[in-house]
Every structure is written in structure tokens, then in C-alpha cells.
């Protein structure tokens, strides 16, 4: 399919999104192309960033596990590149990141249960395997955390789909295909 989207420049988006671009530029040093494409909508970027910044029972490391697994299930090159970088910043090694993307975290039983739950949710469109959910809860996670995993899975699906349709250039370090 021909790509009909080009990454909008700051002067091509709403004033509200211009302010968000400025904040992203200050905090990240650049405006990620995927976020810029959200700004085709006057409201989507703000709504997405608000949801992404919401409180969660998941730690930053746990969030990156979900982000990596869901992005792998959806074959999102952009999100895999971005979240591999963020996973490294949160202390995961390259080998651990590859393992998570492959659907396991043998280095930590609690993380392994999270990987398997996120993968089951993403692959089965929310209809996670009951035994996988039970194994997740047996690792000390709560039912509330199950909902947080579903919520984060939904957010990642949004970015995965925005990438799939708008195809911005990946502006994070490339990661190997698996």
C-alpha cells in the first residue's frame, strides 16, 4: 500500500499539539515520528499521552515487558525499536529483551508470568487462556493488575496500528527481527 501520510511538522499541527511537540522536544530531545502522526487528529496525541501517563500497578520494567510483547505480536517495527531502547534504560539486557519478545522471561518467574499473560491477551484479542491468568495471579499479581495489563495492551495496540497505517520512519535504534 502506498503511504499517504508524511510526518507533520510543528507548524502543520494544532496549537495544542505544537505545545506538546515543544514538551516532547524538551524531554526527549526530539518529537518521535509516531507521536507526530497522532497530531493529524487535533485530540489524539493529547488523549494518548494522558492515558499513557496514567497511574498503574505495573512498574516501569513491567510496562516495558507488556510493550515489547504486544508490539512483537503485532509486528510493529517502530514500537519494538522504541521499547527495546526504553527496556534497556530500565535495566534489561539485549538477551532478556529478545527473550521477552519471543514470549518468555526465564530469568524471572514473575516477569515470565507477565510475558505469557500479555502475549495471550494480545494473540487472543483479550480472550487470554484461563490457566495463563491463574499462573499470573499465582505469582502475586492482583486482579487489578490484570486490568492494568489489558489497559496497557490496548494502548500499545493503538500505537502499533497507527504505525501500521501511517508508516513513519523509525527514529529509534533498529532492532533485529526474530
Grade residue 3 by pLDDT with cuts at 50, 70 and 90: confident
CA 83, CA 4: separation in Å to the nearest integer?
26
Percent of the chain predicted with pLDDT > 90: 98
pLDDT at 1 over 90: no
Cell 501511517, located at residue: 166
In whole angstroms, what separates CA 80 from the centre of its chain?
8
Cβ atoms of 59 and 144 within 8 Å: the answer is no
For the four alpha carbons of 164, 169, 171 and 172, in that order, the dihedral sign comes to: positive
Grade residue 89 by pLDDT with cuts at 50, 70 and 90: very high
- The SS3 assignment for 115 reads helix
In whole angstroms, what separates CA 62 from the centre of its chain?
11
| Average of per-residue pLDDT across 31-58 | 98
CA 36, CA 136: separation in Å to the nearest integer?
36
pLDDT at 21: 98
| Average of per-residue pLDDT across 1-16 | 93
Closest-CA residue to 123 (of 96, 146, 97, 103):
103
pLDDT at 16: 98
pLDDT at 63: 98
pLDDT at 2: 77
Task: For Cα atoms 48, 120, 160, give the angle at the middle one, nearest 5 degrees.
Answer: 30
Cα distance between the two ends of the chain: 24
Helix 109-123 to helix 130-138 angle (10° resolution) is 150
| Average of per-residue pLDDT across 47-73 | 98
Closest-CA residue to 134 (of 125, 143, 124):
143
Can you list the domains of the chain with their CATH numbers?
Answer: 13-52 (no CATH), 60-166 (1.20.1290.10)
Amino acid at each position: 500500500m502506498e503511504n499517504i501520510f508524511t510526518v507533520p511538522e510543528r507548524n502543520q499541527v494544532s496549537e495544542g499539539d505544537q505545545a506538546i511537540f515543544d514538551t516532547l522536544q524538551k524531554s526527549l530531545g526530539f518529537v518521535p515520528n509516531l507521536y507526530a502522526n497522532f497530531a493529524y487528529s487535533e485530540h489524539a496525541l493529547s488523549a494518548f499521552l494522558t492515558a499513557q501517563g496514567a497511574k498503574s500497578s505495573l512498574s516501569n520494567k513491567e510496562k516495558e515487558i507488556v510493550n515489547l510483547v504486544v508490539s512483537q505480536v503485532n509486528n510493529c517495527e517502530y514500537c519494538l525499536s522504541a521499547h527495546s531502547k526504553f527496556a534497556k534504560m530500565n535495566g534489561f539486557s539485549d538477551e532478556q529483551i529478545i527473550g521477552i519478545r519471543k514470549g518468555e522471561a526465564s530469568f524471572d518467574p514473575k516477569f515470565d508470568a507477565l510475558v505469557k499473560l500479555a502475549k495471550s491477551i494480545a494473540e487472543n484479542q483479550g480472550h487470554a487462556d484461563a490457566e495463563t491468568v491463574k499462573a499470573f495471579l499465582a505469582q502475586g499479581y492482583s486482579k487489578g493488575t490484570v486490568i492494568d495489563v489489558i489497559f496497557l495492551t490496548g494502548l500499545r495496540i493503538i500505537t502499533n496500528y497507527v504505525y501500521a497505517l501511517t508508516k513513519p520512519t523509525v527514529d529509534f535504534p533498529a532492532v533485529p527481527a526474530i
